[in-house]
């Protein structure tokens, strides 16, 4: 089994979408391939997805596909000539046609303008420019420049203090979701999530389209922080998108929110991805900075399931080296993770019935594995809940997720410490043990005499409960 437990999400782009590079980054440790729908055409995305799956099969690796949809991105219109802006300059953002002449710039988003009030801050070009709204007219926002710079065409606009009422899913997103589902992507990452209703809107769209995928909520809005526990409850995983989040809240507050979100996801056994600028210097450099290495290390110690590469693997000069570096840092962090193991990981949640039993069995599995040092903890699951719940404990022992469900098999590529195995269906405990041992021996994961801790839910096929724990010696 692989040495690394932390999963790596790598964005595929111009630097990495050829077959040879994809093979190298899979071998280096990529577990989830992220396709960024903010850039590129469907034809190229389709080619990349097919190639990733082809190479993953050749390498006998499980690599999940994540489609990251753009969301409601607000941008200024076309500007004929970039505008140089200094502090206290006046600039007007208008719904009318404008090309930047006389500091009047088109902002073709009426739903955005309606939500803006006098005194609000606007951040443009990823925070490189800052305006204060001084006057709201029926079709325009008059602003004073707080932080100057150069404004050019199609730069993004954010309003950190506004509660925006615009739809969470744009027409482009609908087209992208339909395409992603047609390619059977495993995860859809939803941008600019504000509340649980945004997640429900995406799920409704997928039901309407007749297919499904797991939903990752990207936390990058201040409203999302206010609703974070409810969002975690209804989604399938979380991405701490620190780039836009660091514009919505002061940058010095981002580490606090990151740690809090990771802790809440661990508590609810939901996978969490820490993303944005983790190894950003490796876009141009073959080595990370010390601060970047510490950033990745500490996210893993805090309990993140996965760490993500964006430009580093999509457009950087060293995509393979970036994945290798992240895998190396992860392996070192995991050697020390048990010394810093959070008590919150094994705090029994306030649940009753089958969920309480599942939690008790999963937590007990951790302590038994610490005593026996078995070859593996084996979870048999249809939905993946049992594997996620055991992974929350961060055991030293590898976790095998044995499932007959192909969707669950691929989704487990994102969960810390879990190695999925796709097996034939089984109906009795004896059949289960035969399937587990024969499949694990086939892949040279276990040998005769090895000890396994097996946990499952019986009767089989119901899902959502874990009530059986067996210590088994492979014969």
In the chain, where the domains are located: 7-71+168-337, 83-158, 343-473
Using 50, 70 and 90 to split pLDDT, how confident is the model at 273? very high
Check whether 269 has a pLDDT greater than 80: yes
Predicted pLDDT at 464: 65
Residues 372-393: pLDDT tens digits?
999 999 999 999 999 999 999 9
CA distance 401 to 408: 9
Confidence (pLDDT) at 401: 96
Burial (0-12, 13-18, 19+ Cβ within 10 Å), 60: exposed
Handedness of CA 210, 216, 222, 223 (dihedral sign): positive
Structure tokens at 339: 């010394």
CATH number of the domain located at residue range(s) 7-71+168-337 in this protein: 3.20.20.60
Q: How confident is the model at residue 239 (pLDDT cuts 50, 70, 90)?
A: very high
pLDDT confidence of residue 337:
84
Q: Are 120 and 53 contacting, i.e. CB atoms less than 8 angstroms apart?
A: no
Q: Would you name the residues annotated as active-site residues?
A: 34, 75, 218, 276
- Return the pLDDT at 320: 98
Residue 102 DSSP one-character state: G
pLDDT value of position 346 = 56
Query: What fold characterizes domain 343-473?
Result: Pyruvate Kinase; Chain: A, domain 1 (3.40.1380)
Could you tell me the two tokens for 387? 């594997």
- The contacts of residue 372 (CB under 8 Å, 6+ apart) are 451, 453, 471
Tell whether the model's pLDDT for residue 438 goes beyond 80: yes
Read off the pLDDT band of 338 (50, 70, 90). confident
- The answer to whether 283 and 315 are in contact (CB under 8 A) is yes
Q: φ and ψ at 115, to 5 degrees? A: -90, 0
Give the sign of the dihedral formed by CA 145, CA 150, CA 152, CA 157: negative
**pLDDT score, position 341:** 58
* In 235-318, alpha helices (H): 242-248, 254-267, 290-302, 311-314
pLDDT of residue 374: 96
pLDDT value at residue 358: 83
pLDDT at position 340 is 58
CATH architecture, domain 83-158: Beta Barrel (2.40)
Average pLDDT on 208-217 reads 98
Model confidence at 459, pLDDT cuts 50, 70, 90, reads: confident
E strands present in 177-223: 187-190, 214-219
Is the link from the previous residue into 258 a cis peptide, with omega within 30 of 0?
no
Cα–Cα distance for residue pair 71/173, rounded to 1 Å = 6
Helices then strands, counting H and E runs in the chain, come out as: 16, 21
The end-to-end CA distance of the chain, in Å, is 20
């Amino acid at each position: 089994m692989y040495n690394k437990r932390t999963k790596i999400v790598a964005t595929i782009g111009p630097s990495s979408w050829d077959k040879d590079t994809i093979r190298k980054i899979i071998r280096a440790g990529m577990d989830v391939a992220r396709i960024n729908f903010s850039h590129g055409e469907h034809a190229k995305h389709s080619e990349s997805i097919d190639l990733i799956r082809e190479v993953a099969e050749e390498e006998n690796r499980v690599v999940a596909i994540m489609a990251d949809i753009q969301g409601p991105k607000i941008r200024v219109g076309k500007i004929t000539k970039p505008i140089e802006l200094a502090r206290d300059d006046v600039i007007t953002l208008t719904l009318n046609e404008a090309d930047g002449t006389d500091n009047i710039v088109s902002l073709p988003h009426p739903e955005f303008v309606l939500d803006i009030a006098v005194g609000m801050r606007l951040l443009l070009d990823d925070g490189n420019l800052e305006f204060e709204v001084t006057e709201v007219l029926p079709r325009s926002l008059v602003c004073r420049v707080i932080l100057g710079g150069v404004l050019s065409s199609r730069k993004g606009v954010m309003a950190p203090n506004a509660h925006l009422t615009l739809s969470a899913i744009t027409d482009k997103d609908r087209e992208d979701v339909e395409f992603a589902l047609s390619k059977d992507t495993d995860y859809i990452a939803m941008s600019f999530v504000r509340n649980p209703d945004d997640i429900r809107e995406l799920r409704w769209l997928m039901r309407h389209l007749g297919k499904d995928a797991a939903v990752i909520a990207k936390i990058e809005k201040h409203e999302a922080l206010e609703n974070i526990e409810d969002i975690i409850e209804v989604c399938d995983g979380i991405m701490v998108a620190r780039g836009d989040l660091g514009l919505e809240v002061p940058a010095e507050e981002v580490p606090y929110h990151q740690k809090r979100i990771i802790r809440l996801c661990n508590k609810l056994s939901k996978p969490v991805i820490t993303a944005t600028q983790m190894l950003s210097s490796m876009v141009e450099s073959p080595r990370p900075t010390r601060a970047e290495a510490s950033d990745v290390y500490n996210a893993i110690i805090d309990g993140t399931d996965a760490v993500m590469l964006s430009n580093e693997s999509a457009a950087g000069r060293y995509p393979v080296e970036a994945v290798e570096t992240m895998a190396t840092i992860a392996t070192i962090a995991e050697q020390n993770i048990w010394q810093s193991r959070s008590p919150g990981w094994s705090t029994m949640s306030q649940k009753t019935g089958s969920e309480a039993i599942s939690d008790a069995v999963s937590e007990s599995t951790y302590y038994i594995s610490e005593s026996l040092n078995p070859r593996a903890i084996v979870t048999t699951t249809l939905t993946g809940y049992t594997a996620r719940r055991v992974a929350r404990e961060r055991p030293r022992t590898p976790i095998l997720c044995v499932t007959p469900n192909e969707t669950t098999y691929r989704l487990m590529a994102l969960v810390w410490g879990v190695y999925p195995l796709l097996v034939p269906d089984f109906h009795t405990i004896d059949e289960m043990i035969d399937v587990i041992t024969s499949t694990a021996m086939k892949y040279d994961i276990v040998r005769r005499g090895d000890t396994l801790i097996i946990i499952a839910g019986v009767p089989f096929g119901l899902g959502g409960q874990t009530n059986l724990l067996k210590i088994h010696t492979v014969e």
